[in-house]
A = this chain, B = another copy of it.
Amino acid sequence: MLKLIPDRIEIRSGKQFIVLLNNRTAHMLDLHIGDRVKVKNGKYEMTAILQISEEGFLDEHIGLYMEAWKQVHARRGQRLHISLCDKPASTIYIKEKLQGKRLSADKIDEIIKDIVADDLSDIEMTYFVSGCYIHGLDNMETAELTKAIVKHGSHLNFGDRLVVDKHCIGGVPGNRTTMIVVPIVTSTGLLMPKTSSRAITSPAGTADTMEVIANVINDAGKLQKIAEKVGGFITWGGGVDLAAADDHMIRVRNPLSLDPEGMLLASIMAKKHSVGAKRCLIDIPVGPQVKIKDLKHAKHLRDRFIQIGKLLGIKVKVVFSDGSQPIGNGIGPLLEAQDVMKVLKCEPDAPQDLREKALYMAGVLLELGGKALPGFGYRKARKILEKGIALEQMEKIIDAQGRKKLPPNAKLIYKVKTGKEGKVSHIDNAVIARLARIAGAPLDAAGGILLRKKLNDKVARGETIYEIHCDNEDRMNLAKEISRKNNGYTIREK
């Protein structure tokens, strides 16, 4: 077997080991671009991906990126063995999925194992996503995909204690029910270790809002202890690596914005399964401006969630909610956190829609968790809130995660006023979300929008419909300019 002279390339390649040959050497060894090769240096060896360089490499030389160089303890003047590796078996299964075959549990597990171990290239992962997108994943496959994602990521374990969880299929600005539901539910002794997302294209995710008040922890061991101590937490799922395979797959889904339904369901269920949830509430907002546009689609998803839940041993309840306008008044981390605390403190100006939605959902979870009789969950949740138990419990959670000092409100506040008199007949979520982002949310915690009027509210000419909160003059000017062109509100005149 040919031995090659190593050249060190001063480039980091990330997790994957990458080696380079010139065309002639690759040809001689019958190796091709993208091949997996085994590189050996005495007792040190690695599997690397082969790239071909059209220039800069001598015959019988092999270029090693920094990680690869280190891995095999290469030194100048040495010679390395190189040979072709078999492709991972998972590439065969991926091709089967592309061809429309059902994948068994073992095959799905193998694919996910290889994805997490970085043994599959982006191209190979893309073929997997394509197969799942075009042919779909049935409930059994989706459940197996969920299990595989959980198996090959970190997870929490609370033994026999009952864990409940909730998930909202996003899209509604200001929808911070989680921060009210978790303290209500955990005050009854149920466990609710809640991982949430950060904003991706929205002005704030639950994790961004929680981060205004408390530290967002990303160490699975610490989180386990916090939940054992106070019954729950609210943190950022992305930091905890609970569904590592998911992050990889999302990377290749993004360029075409592909949401293969089975992958979406598995991704959500994996987050529940990985914290050991046995009862789960799924909130599907429905409306023209949110992800799920109509009831037919919502019902189809509901049925799949319930079936997949059964296969995973998770009892799922699905509720449909109104996705037609923002929930609460604040949009942006600080303003949303203030809404949440007002509800928990039962202040008179607390947003009623946020309070009612949170109470309803907490009620469902109390019933699911056996803490309230069917039909009595809402009442129990309201009692817990009104007696101040939820607030007390939230303070415990905040202290357990590490309390943070609330930032001050934004320096600049601009009142957007209406020129018409009438009734608010439509609020454009997309416009409001965009303004909040321009105002700085989610990175500038205080930036955002504070709604003063909601759907069906009466407005007088010149009355404020919402305020723009912003700490930066340039951004504020841009936000003002955009709101002047389209403030996102439709006022029906009488």
What B residues does A83 contact at CB under 8 A? none
* Interchain CA distance A32-B255 in the complex, whole Å: 10
Contact of A121 among B34, B134, B200, B255 (CB under 8 A): B255
**CB of A76 within 8 Å of the partner chain:** no
Which chain B residues border A98 with CB–CB below 8 Å?
130, 133-134, 256, 258
- A370 at the B interface (CB under 8 A): no
Distance of A24 from chain B, by nearest CB (Å): 7
| Binary contact track A234-259/B, C-beta < 8 Å → 1, others 0 | 00000000000000000110111010
Q: Is A95 an interface residue (CB 8 A)?
A: yes
Contacts A124-B256, A255-B91; is A100 near B32 (CB within 8 Å)? no
In the bound complex, residues from chain B placing their C-beta under 8 Å from that of A95 are 256, 258
Chain B residues near A33: list those with CB within 8 A. 251, 254
Residues of B within 8 A of A121 (CB): 255
CA gap between A87 and B258 in the complex, in Å: 14
Inside 8 A of A123's CB, which chain B residues have their CB?
122-123, 126, 252, 255-256
Q: In the bound complex, what is the Cα–Cα distance between A123 and B200 (angstroms)?
A: 21
Please judge, given known A-B contacts A122-B123, A124-B255, whether A437 and B134 are in contact too, CB under 8 Å: no
Q: List 22 A-B contacts (CB under 8 A).
A: A11-B11, A24-B443, A27-B443, A30-B437, A33-B254, A34-B254, A91-B255, A94-B256, A98-B133, A98-B134, A121-B255, A122-B122, A122-B123, A123-B123, A123-B126, A123-B256, A124-B255, A126-B127, A127-B258, A130-B130, A130-B134, A134-B134
For residue A24, which residues in chain B have a CB less than 8 angstroms away from its CB?
Answer: 443
Q: How far apart are A216's CB and chain B's nearest CB, in angstroms?
A: 15
Nearest B residue to A442 via CB reads B27
> Is A228 in the interface zone, CB < 8 Å from B?
no
CB distance from A91 to the nearest CB of B (A): 6
Residues of B near A28 (CB, < 8 A) are 443
**Is A352 part of the contact surface with B, judged by Cβ < 8 Å?**
no
- Which of A's residues lie within 8 Å of B, judged by CB? 10-11, 24, 27-28, 30, 32-34, 87, 91, 94-95, 98-100, 121-124, 126-127, 130-131, 133-135, 200-201, 251-252, 254-256, 258, 437, 443
Q: Which residues of chain B are near A91, meaning CB under 8 Å?
A: 255-256
Given contacts A121-B255, A123-B256, A127-B256, 4 further A-B pairs with CB under 8 A are A27-B443, A33-B254, A122-B122, A130-B134
Copies in the complex: 2
Question: Given A123-B123, A127-B130, does the pair A251, B27 have CB atoms closer than 8 Å?
Answer: no
Query: Nearest chain B CB to A196's CB is how many angstroms away?
Result: 17
The 8 closest A-B pairs by CB, nearest first: A130-B130, A126-B126, A123-B126, A123-B255, A11-B11, A134-B134, A95-B256, A34-B255
CB distance from A158 to the nearest CB of B (A): 31
A24 to B, closest residue via Cβ: B443
A258: which B residues are within 8 A, CB to CB? 95, 98, 127
Contact of A34 among B99, B130, B201, B251 (CB under 8 A): B251
Report the minimal beta-carbon distance from A52 to chain B, rounded to whole angstroms: 10
Residues of B within 8 A of A32 (CB): 200, 254
Q: How far, in angstroms, from A27 to B202 measured CA to CA in the complex?
A: 11
Cα A134 to Cα B131 with chains together (Å): 8
Q: How far is the CB of A464 from chain B (nearest CB, A)?
A: 27
In the bound complex, residues from chain B placing their C-beta under 8 Å from that of A251 are 33-34
What is the bound-complex CA distance between A147 and B135, given in angstroms? 30
Which residue of chain B has the shortest Cβ distance to A437 in the bound complex?
A: B30
Q: Chain B nearest CB: distance from A23 CB in Å?
A: 11
Most B C-beta atoms less than 10 A away, residue of A91, A98, A130, A201: A130
Complex alpha-carbon distance, A122 and B121, angstroms: 11
User: When chains A and B are docked, how far (Å) is the Cα of A443 from the Cα of B22?
Assistant: 14
Cβ–Cβ < 8 Å partners of A34 in chain B: 251, 254-255
Residues of chain B lying within 8 A (CB to CB) of residue A133: 98
Interface-central residue, A24, A32, A91, by most chain B CB under 10 Å: A32
Known contacts A130-B98, A130-B134, A256-B94, A30 near B124 by CB under 8 Å: no
**Nearest Cβ on chain B to A88's Cβ, whole angstroms:** 11
